[in-house]
Amino acid sequence: MEEMEEVARQVADFPRKTWESLRAQGALPPAFADRPYSGRFDGAGEAVPNVCLKVPTGGGKTLLAAASVARVFSGYLGRHAGLVLWVVPNEAIYRQTLKALADRDHPYRQILNVAAAGRVRILEKTSPLSRLDTESNLCVMLLMLQSAARQSKETLRFFRDRGNVLGFLPREDDIEAHWKLLEQVPNLDVYAPWGSHSDAAQELARRQKGSIVKSSLGNVMRLLRPMVVIDEGHHAYTENALRTLDGFNPSFLLELSATPRVVSERAGGSNILADVRGTDLDAAEMIKLPIHVEVRRWADWQSCLAASVAQLDALRREAEALRGDTQRYIRPILLVQVERTGADLRDAGFIHAEDAKAHLLQLGFSESQIAIKTSEKNDLKSPENIDLLSPTCAVRAIITKQALQEGWDCPFAYVLCALAAGRNQNAMTQLVGRVLRQPQVAKTGRAELDACYVFCHEARTADVVKSIKKSLETEGMGDLSISVRSDADDAEAPKPIRLKRRSEFASLRIFVPRVTWSETGHERRELVYESDVLQRLPWDRFDPSHLVHDW
């Protein structure tokens, strides 16, 4: 009898036993092998296998998630049909993942197609769902974390009674069948007496024979026991998120994160099964290294921006040479971080997006080559700018404050000009990871195109290095090194000396003409020699042969 109780105890928490076995075999990542196992239990109190893949940003988390779904269904669940609940943290990642999984030619979708013999359905939370769907197909439902982890979950469609989930519940008049279902799955939502929606009323109603189970998508999840995939899983450790996700009665829980929650003796966290390092991504040619950081005492922010553009132009020339040699297309892009973006905040003593754009125009950029991405304005949604990797796209500079965060991905981003680094280093920290991805996941063989660049305005070297290190740690790449070019130190920099006129010229008034440029429909502005004069010369009609012979 005691032996049977011991077996029952081990079976009840078999994920912990399995984890200890992996630890004994030395199969866990060395850096996390000694951390205690963090158990999770579903709404019925049963242990849920839960693991985390620690993968840096840009390391292919979505690809690994798709491959893991295939492995779990075939190797652990022993079937090819069922339900996967794929949870993402924000709208940007939601749209990006949905687009990839819905594309039958995309590698993510092809992995799922192989696992399910081509019978795959991609769903959103409002999509109709029937028992026949889940018995015949691998159904992948995308859900934003906020949609399932709010305080008042009764107000959410996910937990409301709805008419497009079919075949999962008994007829409403079959009281015995509903009672039996509640015995099997005790955390199903029911219609509580007097219309009360409190947890206490729900618990009381579940114990009363005659209660009717709601026909809600949330209840369908609890019945089907889906595999749950949590992208950017470190966001899913609030009390509401944990309670809701565990309450879906998952059969397996897979977390993917660059910065998993640390497990301690007192608090639960991520059970890290795989640890991918930043150096691993570099070896796989997935990121640009080194990170060159330029910290100077610029005369003004325009000088910092001009230096960034000079670096961008050097990269453009390298990219053109690369295309001439290999036909490989790369169009280096500059990210400009400003201090203000709102239309009513210009001329307030801060570096504004429109000011940065105006200076880029003076430096020779055209309107089509500049995109502004803010909460008020998003030029990246224009049809011609949707695919930044396309040769037909003209964008060479993107101006933002802090709008390019998780989920934004463009391997052509090479240079970050942090004009707000001195006042808002947190925003710069979020942007550094946006210039790390390597185009086409392959090194070019040209040192300039295999690196990325950060230019900082009005910031101390030590503060910048600290912020970039923090950014790399946030992206899961704290093991990478950076190259810093700065002033000799952060002591007082030499101040410019104002030269005085000689006495004979002290009272002389000197007038310097201001050359301007005017075009129909545009305000008069200062002349830019390179773009306004040199670019407009008819070079095709210029014959330099006489210079060669007569010079």
Average pLDDT over residues 284-293: 87
More confident call, 63 vs 184: 63
Confidence band, pLDDT 50/70/90 cuts, at residue 73 = very high
More confident call, 404 vs 356: 356
Confidence band, pLDDT 50/70/90 cuts, at residue 316 = very high
Domain 285-499 carries which CATH code? 3.40.50.300
pLDDT tens for residues 412-463?
999 999 887 656 556 566 677 788 889 988 999 999 999 999 998 877 767 7
The whole-number pLDDT of residue 244 equals: 85
Q: Where are the domains of the chain?
A: 1-27, 48-168+215-276, 169-213, 285-499
Share of the chain above pLDDT 70, in %: 81
Query: Into which CATH architecture does domain 48-168+215-276 fall?
Result: 3-Layer(aba) Sandwich (3.40)
| Within this chain, domains 48-168+215-276 and 285-499 share the same CATH topology | yes
Average pLDDT over residues 306-319: 96
β-sheet bridge partners, residue 336: 399, 417
C-alpha to C-alpha distance for 522 and 524, rounded to whole angstroms: 7
pTM: 0.76
More confident call, 512 vs 200: 512
Confidence band, pLDDT 50/70/90 cuts, at residue 185 = confident
